Homo-oligomer: A and B are copies of this chain.
Amino acid sequence: MPDDPTGPFADLAIVNCTALLGVTADRTTFAPGTTLEITGGRLTRIDPNPAQAPRAREVIDAQGMVAMPGLINTHCHAAMTFLRGAAEDVAVARWFNDYIWPMEVNVGERDVYLGTLVAIAEMIECGVTTFADHYFFMDQAAQAVADTGIRANLGSAFFSSQGPVGLAESVAFAERWQGKVDGRITTSIAPHAPYTVTDDDLRGAADAARRLGVKVHLHASEDLAQAKASVSSRGLTPIQVLHETGVLDAGTIIAHGNGIFDSDIPLLAATRDRVGVTHGPKGYFKFALGPLTPIASLRAAGVPVGYCTDGAASNNTLDILESMRITALSQKQVRDDATWFKSAMALEMAGPESAAVLGMRGQIGELTVGAKADVILVDVDGFHCQPLHDLAAALVYSIQPTDVRTTIVDGRVLMRDRQLLTINREALLDEFRQRAREITDRTHGRSIQDYTN
C-alpha cells in the first residue's frame, strides 16, 4: 500500500511531523519529515522518507510538531476531580478520614459521569489517550469513556466492608465492559487494598481476573509506614500478601509501591510479564511519603513501572507530563546520580513501560505499524523549548501541557489545535461546579470507610 498510487485511501494521514519512532532507556529515535497513516483505528504506515503525498481522506500538516505515542495514565480515580483542592496540606490518614471518605458519601452515579468527563477533558488536553481508573459507579465512567472517545482500563473498586456484593459487582462490571466500545474499554478487578480487603476477597479477585483474562488493579505498599504496619500486624509485606493470595500470579497493577522492600523484588520479578507498578510522585511529595518507589531496583528486575497521577484530590492535576518530569527529577536525587534517568528513560517509561503496566505493550505507547492509532502532536516551537539542542530533554523538562496541540485516539481526533471535539465545556462545567459545592458537605457525619492501614 505505501507506494501504490492506486492503493486504498487511509482514514487519516499526519504529514511533516518529527516522529518519536523508538525509545530505549538510553536512546530516542526521532524521524523528521515523517508521514503517519491511520486506517481502522490503527497505524497502517509510518514513512520517514515519503516520496509522495499521502492518499488519505483527511490530512493533518504537523510541520514543526513532534508526533508521540499518546500518553498513558496508569492509575487514577477520574471522578475525584470533584474533590480537587478539597483537602490540602494534610497527612494521609486525616486526608482519608476527615475529608475524602466523608465527602465521597455524597457522590452518586451522575456525579461519577460528570467528574469522569471533567477528568477526561483535562487528560485529552494534556495528551493522555489511555487511563486506568479505579473508582465506584463505574458504569458511569464507562459511559463517559464511550461518549468522549478516549481509551481506558476500568475497575470497579470495592472494600470487603461492603460484604460479598463488593467483589461480585467488581467482577460483573469487568465482565460486562471488557472489550466494549470498539475495544477502547478494557477492565480490571479492583479491590481497594490489602488493608481494606480480606485475603479471601483478594483470592476471589485473582481467580476472577484469571478467568476473565484481566488484571487485578489495587493499592498496595503505598508507603513505607503502611508496609511496615502490614509486617507488624500479620508478618507479611503487602507484596507478600499479593503473592500468597494469587494476585501477583493473576497479573496486577500495583499502586503505588513506595513501600516496596528489596525483599519484595524477587516476587515481583517472577511475575514481571504480568505485574507492573504505577508511579505518581507529585502526591507522594505532597503527603511527604518518603522514600520514593525503588524504580531502579524494579527496572533492574524487569518489572515495568509506569506513570500515574492518582486522583485530582491528592495530585491536583491529571497531567502525565508533570508526573514524568517530577519522576525524572526526583529519581536522580533518590539515586544520588545526575547521569541516571536520562530523558530517554523518562520517555521509555511514558511509552512502552506504561503500556506494559496495563498489559498493552505493542498496542499503545509506541508508534509502530499495527499499534493502536493513539497519537499526540506536540508543538516544540515555543520560547521555552528553543533552541532544540536536545529534543528528548525538551519533551521531558521543557514542554507545557498546552504544547500538546492535537490528541488522537483510535484514529479519531479528540482535540484539534487545542479545541476539544467531543466535550461540551460550558454545559459540563456548569453542572459540575454546582455539584462540587454539594459534594464537599460533611455535616452528615458518615464515611465510606475507615483508614487505619
Contact = CB atoms under 8 A, between A and B. Distances in A.
Given A288-B335, A339-B90, A401 B384 contact: yes
A275 to B, nearest CB: 27
A386 B90 contact: no
B89 A386 contact: no
A125, A288, A341, A437: residue with the most chain B Cβ atoms closer than 10 Å = A288
A151 interface: no
A119 to B, nearest CB: 8
A133 interface: no
A90 B393 CA distance: 13
A29 to B, nearest CB: 17
Interface string A99-117: 0000000000000000000
- List the 9 closest pairs (A to B, CB-CB), nearest first: A387-B436, A85-B390, A285-B329, A316-B397, A85-B389, A122-B383, A402-B402, A91-B338, A86-B389
Interface in A32-86: 81-86
Report, as a range, how many residues of chain A touch the other chain: 35 or more
Contacts of A282: 329, 397
Contact of A336 (B288, B425, B432): B288
User: Chain copies in the assembly?
Assistant: 2
A121 interface: yes
A323 to B, nearest CB: 12
Contacts of A286: 329, 332, 338, 397
B386 A429 contact: yes
A118 B383 contact: yes
A336 B387 CA distance: 38
A92 interface: yes
B89 A343 contact: yes
A318 B384 contact: yes
Contacts of A448: none
A326 interface: yes
A131 to B, nearest CB: 14
Given A121-B383, A384-B401, A401-B402, 13 more contacts: A84-B398, A85-B394, A85-B397, A89-B340, A89-B342, A92-B338, A118-B383, A125-B384, A287-B338, A288-B338, A316-B393, A387-B437, A389-B440
B432 A83 contact: no
